[in-house]
Amino acid sequence: MEKLRPEAIFFDYGNTLASDSPDRFGDISRYLAGHGLALDKQSFERGWQASEEYAAAYRKKNGRRTWKRDRFWFNFCRIFLEAAFRERLSGSDAATLAEEAHAVTFFTNERFPDTLDTLAELRRRGYRLGVISNWDAPTLPGLFDRFEMTPYFEHILPSREAEASKPDPHIFHVALAALKVRPERAVHVGDSFSCDVVGARGVGITPIWLNPSDEPAPDGEPVIQIRTLSEVLAVVE
């Protein structure tokens, strides 16, 4: 296969650069302990159930997409805190803590071990890098800072800011405009066939499918596939 030489390489975030933390209870309880709140498993389950009921009602009305104007993740966290702590946390105290919590916690991740080395090598080769992520919470910039990834990217675009989610063409067009690059001069790397591959193809960007399980392409069309992030280094010059 002839190697690609794009001007810019875009990346998905979740399950491409980082993975979800498997210990949601541990992550949230450690965060709240720093605020003097001890969270037991029963309280966690009660709070999470209340938040999931809110989320289900919201999505029944609005679909999977959430909107900044609705403050979905703030309300998700506020409802969790009110239900988990009940008499121990007043409504105003829960709202105050939710203002911080929805921006820094509840959705923690673990960076893949080959992420930084791959990004560093791509930058060394002269590539311009960007992020196109279906990420509705306001936590993405903080996650990139925490994982020391921010300096590698010229532009980080969550769906929250684009107000469109992959595979919607709009989010890709916003990212392309930010880097002032034509779609035929760009590559997009991501793990979701329906969002990343289909979405990139739809606007003329070359997709690279991160496919650790080596699954067949759902539509049977040829697509460049890699099993680990670092394999992108063998695909581009």
What DSSP assignment string belongs to 186-215? EEEEES-IIIIIHHHHHHTPEEEEE-TT-P
- Return the pLDDT at 91: 84
Q: Can you spell out the DSSP letters for 134-159?
A: ---STTHHHHHHHTT-GGG-SEEEEH
Within a domain: residue 100? yes
Structure tokens at 33: 């302990």
Task: Provide, rounded to the nearest whole percent, the portion of the chain with pLDDT above 90.
Answer: 72
Domain, as residue range, for 162? 8-20+110-235
Same domain, 53 and 163: no
Rounded Cα distance, 133 and 159, in Å: 6
Choose the final residue of a domain: 104, 126, 143: 104
Asked whether residue 2 is domain-assigned, the answer is: no
pLDDT tens-digit map of 18-65: 987 778 898 899 889 989 999 999 999 999 999 999 999 999 998 877
Both 124 and 219 in one domain: the answer is: yes
12 and 32 fall within a common domain: no
Instruction: Based on the fold, state whether residues 15 and 58 are members of the same structural domain.
Output: no
Neighbour tally for 220: CB within 10 Å: 7
Domain assignment present for residue 183? The answer is yes
Q: Is there a contact between 189 and 11 (Cβ–Cβ < 8 Å)? A: yes
Q: Is the model more confident about 10 or about 22?
A: 10
User: Both tokens of residue 138?
Assistant: 């306001």
- Mean per-residue pLDDT over the chain, rounded: 92
What is the reported pTM?
A: 0.81
The residue behind tokens 């067949």 is 216
Domain-embedded: residue 125: yes
The Cα–Cα gap between 205 and 176 comes to 10
Both structure tokens of 200? 């990139």
Residues 37 and 99 both lie in one domain: yes
Give yes or no: residues 217 and 162 share one domain.
yes
Indicate if 127 and 161 belong to the same structural domain. Answer: yes
The tally of domains found in the chain comes to 2
Q: Does residue 122 share a domain with residue 16?
A: yes
Token pair of 146, please? 């925490």
Q: Are residues 139 and 195 in the same domain?
A: yes
Residue 81 and residue 167 in one domain:
no
Domain stops at, among 55, 78, 104: 104
Residue for token pair 């997009």: 188
What's the pLDDT tens digit per position in 176-203? 999 999 999 999 999 999 999 999 999 9
63-101 pLDDT tens trace = 877 787 888 889 999 999 999 999 788 889 999 999 888
Both 58 and 118 in a single domain?
Answer: no
Boundary of a domain, candidates 104, 135, 153: 104
Closest CA to 56 of 68, 72, 45: 72
Q: Is residue 3 part of a domain?
A: no
Residues 97 and 115 both lie in one domain: no
The enclosing domain of 231 has a CATH number of 3.40.50.1000
Q: Compute the distance between CA of residue 210 and CA of residue 216 in angstroms, rounded to an integer.
A: 12
